[in-house]
Structure 1
Amino acid sequence: MNFHVARDGVIIGEFNEQDFRDKVFRGEVRREDFYWTEGMTEWQTVAHYRQGARTQVIRREPPPKKS
């Protein structure tokens, strides 16, 4: 799945999900930029994506117990 990113009404890139997340983390893709990916009905701000990412629950297995 590719993420299309626009700034000031111009497409600035198309990235796979990991590259998109990395660019958001590094600030190369800004909160006020817009993104769209397959399945979305309209473009959303990157700030909206980041809000959704923060609310996801990450489950991890506890570390193995030492004998």
Structure 2
Amino acid sequence: MCPHQPQCPSYDAPDRDAATILAAHPVQGWSLLCNGVIVFEDTGELLPDGRCVDPCRPEPAHAAA
């Protein structure tokens, strides 16, 4: 249970990335959030229930014809 007030969003909430960082490992490229989510610097995520969230990558820009 989150001790913060207001409580951090749960791992299955749309705004789960707004949770407080408990442990940051910038050299390794990841952080552990209060709600149990591991966030990677490429924006990928590992949820506490074992599911993976793919990184958000922008669509490639195409040259105009």
Give the shorter-chain TM-score range: 0.3 to 0.5
More helix by share: 1
After TM superposition, the score normalised by the length of structure 1 is: 0.32
Larger Rg: 1
User: Which fold has the larger relative contact order, with Cα–Cα distance below 8 Å and residues 6 or more apart in sequence?
Assistant: 1
After TM superposition, the score normalised by the length of structure 2 is: 0.32
